[in-house]
Amino acid sequence: MAGTPDFDLYRPSEEHDMLRDTVRSLAEAKIAPHAAAVDEEARFPQEALDALVSSDLQAVHVPETYGGAGADALATVIVIEEVARVCASSSLIPAVNKLGSLPVILSGSEELKKKYLGPLAKGDAMFSYCLSEPDAGSDAAGMKTKAVRDGDFWVLNGVKRWITNAGVSEYYTVMAVTDPTKRSKGISAFVVEKGDEGVSFGAPEKKLGIKGSPTREVYLDNVRIPADRMIGEEGTGFATAMKTLDHTRITIAAQALGIAQGALDYAKGYVQERKQFGKPIADFQGVQFMLADMAMKISAARALTYQAAAASERVDPDLTYLGAAAKCFASDIAMEVTTDAVQLLGGYGYTRDYPVERMMRDAKITQIYEGTNQVQRIVMARNLP
């Protein structure tokens, strides 16, 4: 029955637990040592990409048919969660690879899948998602980027904004208007390549957090692409985009979950070592209550996120609600927990010598992208189970 959870469907299996151990070890050894520098220098975390690719963890969601691991939605969540625990910027490598390529998986032709999913699975390319525009954020259907048919080609013109990993990714799923008279039903999806003539990128945005993941505008100036690069049928792009977000909002919940867990883990270790009034501050009830609340909220967010991942895997009727709920709840919790972690470290927490202030800055974006949490509440209200 829709709305009635079957807990066995989203309880991590032994294989999931082994995957978690593998990713955590890799993240702590190969990604964590560079996290502070990546943030400080606002540079792409190449070390993380190399480490993930070497272990085939950069795009575990790609089906085995196209050379991928064929991991389920919960496994993808675990990968993102464990990477985000040490470096939120790096977790956007597997997260955005799924976001960018899922439209092809959901709606693309067999030819498109073979052409673009193989290099993604091998680690030879990354995939980004181009939906938002300068004047089309929450109102994505109000986009102005156009695609005009010209024989066996489509010619794209427009600007996409807030594009994660832009300039690094080789492939871009681009939503564009093919029939201006039909609003959302006049939007189509295309695969655009970085090397296509007319594709260029704006300067990297100077952001509060996730500084290691480049966010740039993507400019499309008479970009001429073969007609077979359309994803699905003409006019189905917006529906594909929304269906994609139903699944990928769960990856943002996973990122938020990892950030929160990383902040709690660090704060827990700190309060056991920091002494005031002759004893560790972990002995004070006020501190203990803060830690208990942080852990409790993370546990609740994890349960909801894993439930949503199970719904994603079986395409549950309640997926739209659960994806929005997981993203909204986990990101709100991440903001609360990271703020409390900074508080527990006192003045030290406010400095860049300690990682919790970075985690607090990184957490904020999870309440904003892939639909603000205000929009998530609208989505939930319209899709109550």
Q: Which sequence positions are flagged as catalytic?
A: 370
Distance CA(209)–CA(125), nearest Å, equals: 24
Close Cβ partners of 372 (under 8 Å, ≥ 6 residues apart):
138
Note whether 122 and 101 are within 8 A (CB).
no
Strand partners, 187: 177
Distance CA(227)–CA(71), nearest Å, equals: 31
Closest CA to 172 of 212, 132, 122: 132
Distance CA(315)–CA(311), nearest Å, equals: 6
Closest CA to 34 of 24, 44, 25, 47: 47
Note whether 44 and 95 are within 8 A (CB).
no
Distance CA(27)–CA(261), nearest Å, equals: 14
The b-or-e profile of 331-367 (16+ CB within 10 A means b, else e) is: bbbbbbbbbbbbebbeeebeeeebbbbbbbbbbbbbb
Q: Which amino acid is at 219?
A: Y
- Burial degree of 4 (CB within 10 A; 0-12, 13-18, 19+): exposed
Note whether 16 and 78 are within 8 A (CB).
yes
